[in-house]
Structure 1
Amino acid sequence: MNHLILSFASPDRPGLVDTISNVIKQYKGNWQTSSLHHLSGFFAGVIEVAVSEEESQALVDQLNSIPDFDCIIKVANQSSSNKGKVTLELTANDRSGIIQEISSTIHHHGGNLIKLVSSRQSAPHTGVELFTATANIDVSEDKLDTLIGALESKADDIMVDISRD
């Protein structure tokens, strides 16, 4: 069984997910995990598909033939981590470079960023733009406190809530 990772962007149009899912079903693929988003007139996402080795190339070829659908497809090697999984809920005043600050701090303190979902929203009562993010990371237990301290020291306004998976 192959695990294909599809990363795509396409001008948004009705029926795009239906088209993708029909192709995957046609080649007996199993849609595993995904993250799909409408962004500035485009529909973009990442999908993991499990498919037999025999059907993999035909599936890839068919996905690549969808009109106006820019897709990069990789075969994944599944691996396991020996670190602990931690979820960080981050809130701060929005500013340029905040993702770089967060990702750099995680990297330099021994963490591996597994998933990041971020957004901007207006703060209640003040209207100030807030950055919020949920970050799933792998990090050794003995490095977690140092990592959290480093994140919180990046700015006076950053708040970090932690949950262990």
Structure 2
Amino acid sequence: MRHVVISILGKDRPGIVENLAGIVKDHHGNWQTSSLRHMSDIFAGIVEIAVSDEHAEKMVAELTAIDNLNVQVEVSQPNERADNVVTLDVTANDRPSIVAEISAIIHKNGGNLVKLVSTQVSAADSAQLLFKAHAKIAVENSEQVDVLVEALETISDDLMVDIET
């Protein structure tokens, strides 16, 4: 069994997901995980598909041949590592470089950013832009979590970190 990770980028139009899912189905693939978005009139997505070795090459060829989409593909074996993963919610006043600051702290404290979903929202009381992120971070052991949270909170006085349980 192979795992195929594809990233998709192109002008948004109806039917993109149906097209992708049809190719996966035709090659007996199993759609594992995905994140699909419409951003500034662009369709952007990433999908992980499990597919047998015998169908992987033909499926990849069809996916990369889709007209008007930039499709990047990586084929690998499934990840069988059992990482300790901590989920954090981060809120701060929005500013340039906040993601760079957060990711540097995570890396310097031995974490690996596994997933990051972020957004900008207006603060209810002031309409100031807030940065909000939902992050999954792999750590070697649970003792790292407190150190990591403390380090993140040193970025600025307005940054709050909540550990999701």
TM beyond 0.5: yes
- How far, CA to CA, are the matches of 1:18 and 1:144 in structure 2? 40
Please, what TM-score do these two structures have when normalized by structure 1? 0.95
Moved more, 104-113 or 72-81: 72-81
Stretches of structure 1 lacking an aligned partner (at least 5 in a row) = none
CA displacement at 1:10 relative to structure 2: 1.2
Q: How many residues align?
A: 164
Q: CA offsets per residue over residues 75-124 of structure 1, 9 Å max, x none?
A: 12333445421100000000000001111100100111110000001010
* Residue number in structure 1 paired with 2:42: 42
RMSD of aligned Cα (Å) = 1.1
* Residue number in structure 2 paired with 1:158: 159
- Could you tell me whether the CA contact under 8 Å between 2:64 and 2:73 is conserved in 1? no
CA displacement at 1:143 relative to structure 2: 1.7
- How far, CA to CA, are the matches of 2:42 and 2:80 in structure 1? 33
Give the letter for the 2:145 counterpart.
Answer: L
**Shift in alpha-carbon separation, 1:81–1:152, aligned structure 2, 3 A:** farther
Give the letter for the 1:14 counterpart.
Answer: P
Please, what TM-score do these two structures have when normalized by structure 2? 0.95
- How far, CA to CA, are the matches of 1:109 and 1:6 in structure 2? 30
Stretches of structure 2 lacking an aligned partner (at least 5 in a row) = none
CA displacement at 1:163 relative to structure 2: 2.3
- Could you tell me whether the CA contact under 8 Å between 1:93 and 1:129 is conserved in 2? yes
Q: CA offsets per residue over residues 120-164 of structure 1, 9 Å max, x none?
A: 010102100000000001112122111111100100000000024
- How far, CA to CA, are the matches of 1:145 and 1:102 in structure 2? 15
